[in-house]
Structure formats: structure tokens, C-alpha cells
Structure 1
């Protein structure tokens, strides 16, 4: 390749200024033959515009741009720019200098005109890469347009800069080393980023080779833009790291003659299955399958793989140690550049714990956690099924309501641990006497229900119930003491006493109540004599209506305490009936009547109005953050424009909605979850707080629970009866964790012991209420307690 007509004349001179070598451009530009230049001094050829100064002439001009005149052989004086640079890339020629002479603008044809004289000029300019020639001083002698674009510089700027300054400071030692290597060994290769004048960075693969231009040794080379490759490599590394670090197991298989062989598994796969990649490489993943298990799902997977389609399945596999695990599996095909499917990627999400948790939640939703018996939800399902079956078969169904006598006395005198022990023992005795197909349920604190399907006769029912009564009343041994529970039982029959589950349950409940009025510890069938009981029920209903009108109802407030600070932060409003004749009637006697008759609606409105008045009084005393909780009934939630009326009440009292908390039970929400969701949304829009009461005693699917816009969940007191009981520990911890995972605060109610407080604090429960701190108080006593900042002791 002929590079003689270069636009840059380069002399190499010693410290005294004697020319030791030069390139062809020198001869062409100055017009001197090589014989004349040899031994010539730089002063003979170049006249600098400014005097050199006191230091040696050449050294004084190093690393600086100078102006001067090139004295040509034919007498012409050509204006030039001169760059003097030490031969820094050749340590063996220390003290020698490169003198680069560049004609000033207009003196000679531009660089492109000179290049066009070259046979390869077009090739150099059209190369899909940068092209360069560098002398031993590290300066450019020749380059193409792509290099100017990469460096964001004009042609006149390039010769005056040492090439190492085109790179990041940290890369410069490598650049110098590679150029020196090319000078010494003939070639070198390296990757680096060129940094443009305005900061643009471009990654290149540089390849250098040694050559000489005339007598001037130099290096020429190319730089291929590898930015896209670098970006692709980075993307591959990121994706590889993501696969490697994924918590989900990932397996990649390659297709080979209809078979799918393992090519790669990530560490999560090795951790979940117990198999290492070295053990299973080349095997079909089906080896982990369990014969005869989840065959339908496995068939779907095989069919999808044959069709080379994506598929998702949930199935069980076996770990290396033999344990079975559930996995949510997603498989997707991978095609090559020609569109042929060559691999499949499987992502395995180990859902074993989730499955177990679902089963625990399902069991919890349908069973009583203390006794393991069916709860009210499961009982109602089984009762409906039994009645439907009996209607078609013409058979009979018996339902027995069983209530322990004096259970409150047992709790008060022997403690709640003894009460829980009696309940568990009662449940066991009921199991021992009932048939396997019958249903035993616990539907309240000390209330059990027995469902007997297709009994032989009335006499057989009576014999069974009497045997159960005697079994339950047998003494229960607790810490060396005998406890005699006793029980009252009421029995109703289908179809004699009702044709719906609700009627049958009401009849059995009435019969049980009648058994209690007859002196307890006996059983009664539902009969016409119970009309008197119904009459008394109606009288209670009439009295309740009057009591609401004539303000016989009173509100007490049970304090709610922050478990972290011990501070009283709110209270639950509890309604009481101060009867003029019977005295204080507890809510468990009149609330069910209010629910059944619809009187719960005006009663609930009165309670909300009173609670708002109490909040207003609290605010007047400077207690702006105090929150009062009010229980809502299902009937209230179903009232049209309930939210609008509540908003009017809040505005009338001037109460901040955030200070009012509305409690609804889990079972109320799940009766009609979609309707409940709409009402709760309206209430939340007002700004009030919402909580789920008696959490864990009803049935809530997680999907519904996440949708309800609630702020708190309240742990039912039944889960705290005995904090030393493993079942309670697991369930209570699970409820607290579930609440916090859903960003809800958790309140424990019915807290009565120091051990319960310690347990709740240990597991980060947010608030508590219960007799351990305080019973329900009148409003004035509550205000005094808050004013003096009475706190829960540490």
C-alpha cells in the first residue's frame, strides 16, 4: 500500500535538532530529496515564529503547538503548524523527538484531497471501522472519517493530541502497553472505549500492526465498534445472573429425537429438589415424577411438549430424599434463529408450604381450633345436605343443641385453662358416643351441636342423647381437682319441627333453652310446650323496643391499649340494658333478639350517636387521637344509605371520621362478600376505620380478605385461652403474621393474663383489650383514665 503522499510531514530529530529519519510526506512537502535531508538540522528546514527561550531548542517546544514556516527546496515559504513530541512510546530512543509539520489552512489541498490520490482512499474512508496510523510519539499520522465521528472532533484537532488521551484515564496504561507491544512484536489486540470530545463512549476492538512510512516507524490498525456486542453480553450476563439468583427453580432442557434432556438447572433447583446439575445432566425431568400421581396434569404437559407449546400445571414431584413437594410449573419453548424449537425452559415455584397453609386455613375455616370439631359454617353445610337427602329418601334428621351448665362458674373458679380442658374433654366424649357419619360442631364458647342423620327412631335418639348427657356430666380431672360440667340439651327433628335448616336450628335452640329453664342438666325435645318460651321471647322483644325508645340502654367502654407503649389509644363501645325490673341485662341475651327482629338497626344508630358524643367530649379534653370502636351488625351493613347517614352523624357531632372505628365480624362479611365490599368501600371513603372482629372464627378466603379495605383484624379470645397450647400458638402467630403481611394492625381481645401479654408482645401484636388491663368502664371513668395516662405495665 503506497502511503507516500501523506498530508503530515514527520521528522525525527535528536536533542540537538539533527534530523535522523523522516517520511515521504517530508520530501513531497519540502521538495528536498532524501539525500539532502539526511544530516540536515531542523533550523535549516523550519523557521519558528517565536524564539525558543533559554532551554534547549527542541525540548523547549515539546508537547506544545507552534507556528512557523517550512523552507522548501524551491525557495517557497510554506506556513505550517508544528507539533514537537518526545518519543514516549519507545523507551530505547529517549531524547529523540517527533516533529509533526501540518500545513496551515489553504496552504495545501485538504487531507481528503490527498487521500483521494491514494488507490485505497475510498476503501479506507468506507471501512465499517475506524482506521488509524500512529507514530512512535503516540500521535496520529492518518485516520478515517469514522474515527473523527467516534471522537466528536474535527480533522485539524486530531494530530495535536496524544492518542492515549482519547481513552479513559484508567485505560491509558493498557493503551500505551498495547501500542508498544505492536512496535516491539509486530501486532497487538485489545478492547477499550473511545471517549468523544463531548463525552460519547464507544466500545471498540482494536487490532494494531507495525509498519513504517519512509524511515518513520509507525503502527496502523483498525477499531471495530463492538458496542452492540458489549450490550448483548451485558444483557446475557444480567439474565444469567437473574436465572442463577432466582428463588424459583429453573431447568433448561434440549430437544433430541422427541426426548427432553436436562442441560442446565440453577441453584434454586438444586436446593429445592436436592439434585445437583452434575447428577442429572442429560436426564429427562420426568424422573422426579411420582407414579400414579397427578396423571392428568402430566398428560397435559406431554401433549403440550409434543405440540411445542407453553403449558402450566400444578403437580407433585419427589425430592432426592424422597419427600414430596408441590410445584407450580410453567414450561415455555425456545426457538433458534431459524424458528426451530430447540429447548424448553421450565420454571418451578415450590408451593408446598402454600398448599399446607391453604389446608390449614381451610381446616381453620371449617373447624374449631380448640377442639378440632366442625364450626358453624361446616355444620350449616352438612345440615343442608342432610335435610336435602332426607327429603328425597323420606328419612329423619335429628339436631341436638348442647350447652354446658355453669361454664362461666368453671372459668371463674378454675381458670380459663381449666375451661379449655373441659371443652376439649367434652368434645372427646361426644366423639366417643357419636357415629362416624354424624357431625359434631362447636358453635360458641360452651355450645355444641350434634347432627344425627337417619336415626332409627325417636327412642334411639333419646337413648343416644341421654348417654351423651351422662358422659358429659362425668367428672373431669384437672390438676388433681374434679370438675363437674353438666349439660342442657335441646333436640329438634326434621321434618316434624321444621322444613328448613334455620327452623330446625331455632327449634333445637329453643328446646335447649327450655331444658335450662327446667333446672339444667337434662334434655328436652322441641314440643308445643315451647310456645311459652316463644311468648317470653316476644315479651323480651317488646321490652327491648321500649328500652331503646326510653333510653334504658347505656354504653360502657373497654379500653384498647398499644402493646408497644402501653398507652390507652382507644376503646370498644359495649351496649348494656339497664332494665327497670330485671336490672342489668347482658348483651348476649338481648342482642340476638335485636338481630332477629331488626331492632338492631335503631339500637345500632343509637350506639353510633352515643359513641360520637363520647368522641366529641374526648376531643374537648384534648384527646384528639382517641379512637372508639363500634360493632356493626349484618342488618346495619345491608341498610340502604347507611354510609350517608353515618356521615351526617359525624358532621353533626363535629367528629373526625378517623376517630371512629367500625367492627364487623368475619362471618358477616362472608355472607355476601361482594355486597359487603361495596358498603365497606363507601364507609372507607368517609374516612372511618374498619376492623374485622372475631377473626379466625368464620370463613374468609384470602382473595376476599385482601379486597376488604379494613385497617385492623381482631383475634378472637378463643385463640388466647391458653397461650401454652401448641394449636393456639400456631394459629395466633399465623393470624398476627397474616395481618401484618396484609398491612393491617392486629388487636387481641379477651386478654386476661400476663402470659398472654408476653406472648402478644413477643409476636408483635399491635393492640390488646381485656380484663387484664381493664373491664368496660363508664365514659367519665374512661376519660379520667386517659387524662391521667394510665398505662399497661411493662
Structure 2
């Protein structure tokens, strides 16, 4: 059987030979063109000889490619890379000699480098050989010849090809690994098919046994019913105590026995021996429904007879609701019903309650004000139509959303805190709806409590004050300036953009419209207060306003969103330089009172063209949102695909909310190898989403969106609960002392209920807290170190362990590290990657030395080779985690791996344990 690593090598070899054929044919054509050019120009003889040699080499390589393909088909473990490397090396040296002549020869040599980047992406070192030889060897000759193409063409293009080749190689390797993983899972499913069939047969046998037992139980119940018939008096007492009546209808003799007619009909005819007729008491308008239900059951169309009807009590002006439920219990030899037994219940109070609920629902839904209900965690349970109209959202999109995310206002946090502490809130705020549309809102929130004074839910009533606000605004003069920063406001900026529609000559001057949004500005307000945030916006506005040409017309669109126009005169480099200067200016530290603040911005750029003058601002905002989605601190240009991305993201967000409600998120576990004992005694829980229609969703696609929308908190809570339940079940199966690590998102850290969420997960699962480890990143802790220290100490009081994830990629402040109650450091995989092929990594060694002095455990992420594993063992690292140990696996597979894996198995394996 071919291992995963060997299959990867085989697949890469196939891609190399397939693309190599195209590469050598392209090389042959380019070399012929070069030879023709040299033949008709007075060039040194070495140039003509090298072009001819390349042509011969290409023909030889094509023949060799056919041989290698046959050899690879016969022996999948054989590698053609050494042969191809030799041919590529010779080809690169020949083209480097050709490139020394400059002119078209240099251009064709650069084209050869581009062909290598295009076709040889599966093996990065082949591209590196070609681009390195062609890019580096001609430099001294071109420099000596003072050839201007060296700076203008040769160096930029070769650098671009090298970058494109590196990115293409990474993308190709990820796609190949994903394809191999899919094949592995398919093979695993095929191998387990017979086992599943056996289990199915066993389950079928078990079901048959259960059916047999049920048949016996039915027979036993018949015997019990006969015994109960003999104890009629006791049965009547029991039915009277439960409020139920009993009736037995003999359809052959047309006799009906009623246990207590006086209780339901106010008549004791049955007890007095008189004939009782139901139609004498049922209201005429309800009788057709009773007859219809009875006929349907007697014909076998329904499993049970069930009817609700009203009766008029004798000598009283009072009606009573009755519910009958019965079933045919005996049939004659012709299959016709012979006996029917059922119960009768007075449901007058239930029907009255249902009527009251209907009236309440009508008042709720038809109210002219927005009415909504929150649960004890201040998450929406239900709302009426007016509430949905006010916020321009459907009820399905709101259910489960926290209050602070629904109203979208700067006072949301204080409203939530006041509601939790005082039980009520009333006031007027500025909320956000739709596409960042602010509007005035009157809101009244009240806590509703049960009879024992415990909190039940919150009742909210709100009213849109936009009409009143518009009436007030009509009497005020319109201003063109923002009151906080002094910059132009959105209205003025839009009037400026309309000049592009009115004056066509402006389209010839090459302008660009930019929108920038500060990254994580909300955390500044939450950490330091609104006053500090406002001063930061003023200082930023002053910097933007100080820019000289080519930046014009700086305006503030909304809270932390600014817009400007850049005149770049068709010079793309000038535009890129302006954007780079803009980002440098923004990232310079701001000194606000005693605080030194460093912020970054996401920038969206839209080039002014003839076809988009009416959508300039919208397109720039769409590009800015794309920059935010890619992590912020970057600039993105608008392209047409971004116009459809908001719809796709809204659809994914809607599907994600439904998945949270339907509990569609599952958990996979990636093992961590204990390098001191050689066994797997810890795993990391990772969220997985299997969409009912689209299948497995890549975490890289939904995790950033979940972070942005705040849904990551609900997903993280589900993952935590499932992981704790699984870990507790493993302990019951005597699998050993297995700890479980769960990632905590920044949204969960900022919420006040994180302690309760963790405590509830431990209580519901029964997992001892010492076996739960919570992983947090440096960046989220350093946003507010004092708050981080408080809530980490509170979590530690539960008995759980804490780990600092991706250590070294954030602030890495050692003074803060001493203050935080951290148990484990996780070295980021980018630093572990430096230790490939046994090469030392100074950062890894420094982190291990520091952790040893602080008595902290260390986990190395991204371990993919045995050389890295040996290196970490020599340094005394505690745990290793990565593809060498195992990918993230479902519960059943990770348990199999835990049972059979130890350090000896790992040392005897190939390049992969799993």
C-alpha cells in the first residue's frame, strides 16, 4: 500500500511530467525564435551556438520526458526529479548565456523564466534554478554593458516571476494535499463498508428481538386490561383523581359505557341505567367534526380517534369544551370494528388559555410599536412585524442575536450593563440599520420576573423617531462639515463625486476614490473610552488633511470611516506610492493624553471610469470591506467580483445562523504528542461545518466571517460543550488521562459570560477541570492587559489550564507574560518551519529557554518532518503537534490513533504517523 507521503511524491511527479512536456515544447519554440534572430543579426558565435544547444536540449528533454513517464507508470515510487533537475539546470545556464547579449535575446530569456514559473510550479526548486540562473548570471554582463533593460525590465520581471512561482507552488501543494486527503477518506469509507453492513445486520437482528419483546408486552398489556376490567371501582377512582373519563363502546351491541357522565355532561343517565346519547349534548355546529373524525378512524384512515367539541350543560347557560381520544381495540372476523375504548377530558381551561394567547399574539403582532422579547442572556427570542420593519431585517435573522449586536449603537454595552444590574432601561439612542444607516430610536426595556422573583425574560418596546428627526432637520441649515473632525462630511463628498458625472473631462485626468476604515477601532473605545476614541479620530483627520498632492478632498463618512480622492494622472506607480504613504502615516503612533495608540486601516480603492461614476463610493466601500475581510492593514482595488461578494457573504451568514440553531457544527481533534512519554495524552478541538447541501465548508471560509459577525461566540460555545462531553466519555472508556484544548475567540473574551459558559460546560459534561485547557492568542489579551489578567485569574479559579496560542507572532511582551496565569506556550508553526532539514531556529530555542525559566509547558505547532521532531526532542520541548503526528480527525479515528500510537511507532514510521 502506498503511503500518503509517497502518493504525494507520485502526484507531484505526474504533474511535473505532464507540464514538462508543455514546457519543453515552449522552450523549443522560443529557442528557434532566438536562433533566427541571431542568424539575421551580427551577434557573437556563442549566442548562435547556445540557441542551437537549447533546441537540441529541448528535443532531448521531450524524449526523456516520455521515458520518465513510462518509468513512473511502471514504478510509482520512482522519482524523475533528478533527471529533470539536470536538464533544467543545463537549460537555465544556456539561457543565462543567451541573456547576456541583451536586446531580444534578453527578452526571450526572461520569457523562458516566465515559462518555468508557469509550468514547473509543482517543484519550486526547478523554478528557482531557472529563474535564479536567468535572473542572476546576466546581471554583471548587462551592468557592464550599461544596458537599461537591466533595471527597467530584467530585474522587475524576474522578481515578479519568482514571487508568482512561490505563490503558485504553495497553492498547488495545498490543492494536491486536499485531493489526496479526499481520496484517503474515500478509501477509508470503502474499507469500512463491510463493517457497516455487519453492524446493520446486527442492528436488524436486535430490532427483530425488540419487536418480539414488544409483541409479548402487548399480550401482557391485554391481560392487564382484563384484570383492570374486573376492578372497575378502582379504575373509576383513578380516573376521577386524574380528571379523565373512560368510555367503552361495543359497536356490535350498540352499547356505550361511560365512567362518569355527570362530571362532563352534568347528567347521570348511565349511572341510573338510562340510555345515554352523545348527540343530545354536543352543540349542533360541532357535531359534523365529531362524526368526520369518528368515520375516518373506523375506516382505518387514522391511527386514533380524536375530537374536540362543546357541550351545553343542562339547566345552565354554560358551555364546556370536551376532548375525546380513542382507538378501535377489537375487530370481528370480517375485519369490521367491534369494540372501541377511549378517554374523555375537560379542556375548557386549555381552550380559554389558547383564546387568550391568540388575543395576545394579535395585539403583539399588530402593535404600531416594535415589541420584542429577550432571554436571560439578553438574546432575542421573538419580535413583532413592526420591530422587523424598524430595523429592516427578518425575524429569522434576528433570533438568537445578543442585544448589543441588534441595536448597533455606541451605547449598546452600557444599555446591556444597566439592564442587567437595574432591570430596566429607558431612553433615546442613535441605532444603525440596513447599510450603516443611523436613525433615532426610543427604547424601553423591562425585566420580567417569575413568582419566585427569578429572572424570566426581558420585554422591550421601541419606536422609530426618524419622522420627528426629519421634521426637526427641515428647520436647520445644512452644513458641509463634520462637527467632530472639521473635515467635509458625507453629503459634501457625494456632491464632489457628482462632478465626475457632470464634467466628462475629469474622466481623462485619472482619479481614484479611496475609502479607509480603522481596524479594531471599537476596541479603542471599549478599552480607553469614547473621549480617547474621539481624540484619536481628530488626530487622524489632521494627518489626512495635511497630505499634499496628489491627495485631495478628505472627508469623514461615518464613525471611523474616511474618504478621499487621489489624482494619479494614469501613473499606477504614483497611485501605489500614495497608498503606501497613506498607510505609513496612519500607522505612526498617536499620543492621546498618556496613551500611545497604534492603529491600522483597511483601504478600498475605486478607479474613476466612464462606466462607474454613479457607483464610485459604493465600489470603494466594497473594496474596503474586502480589505477588512483579508485581515485589515492593506489596500484592495475594486473589481466586478466584489459586487457579488456581499450577497454571498450574507447567504453564508444566514446559513451559519441556521447551522448554529440546528447544531450542525461538529468537532475534529488534532492530537499532540508528548515528547517525554512518547504517547498522545492531549488533543486540540477544532470546529468543522458540514453544510447539508454544500458539504464540508473550509474553516478558512467561515471562521473569519463568524469573527466579523460575532457568531464565533456561539460556535465556540458549541465546540466547548461537545469537546467536554467527548473528553468525559473517553475517561469513562478508560482511555487514560487525555486532556483537551479548546480555542477561545476574541468575542468570547470580551463577553462577560465566558466564566459561566466554561463552568456550565464542565458541570454538564462531568469533566474534571484539570483536563480542560483554553487557548487564547496574544493579540486578544494585549488589547486590555488589565481586563485580561482579571478574567484569566477568574477562569483559573475553575481549575482549568490556560495556553497562549501563536506565541511570538503578536506583542510577545515578557513583562506581561509574567503577570498572566499562563500554563502553556504554543510556538507558532512559522518558527517551527525554520527547523526543516535539521537547521536550527534561534527563535524556537529562545522561547524554550524562556519557558523553562518561567516553568511553562511548550507545544510546537506545524511539525511536518522527522528532522523537526528530533530537533524539538533535543531541545526538551514538551509536546509536538502537526501533520507528522496527524491531521485533525473525527472522534472515532482519533480514538483509534490514541490507542495504538506511541513514540516507538513514530520513530519506525515513514514521513507520517497517520
TM-score higher than 0.5: no
Relative to the length of structure 1, the TM-score reads 0.38
Point out the structure with max Rg over C-alpha: 1
- TM-score, normalization by structure 2: 0.33
Is the helix fraction higher in 1 or 2?
2
Q: Return the structure number with greater relative CO, CA threshold 8 A, min gap 6.
A: 1
Structure number with higher strand proportion: 1
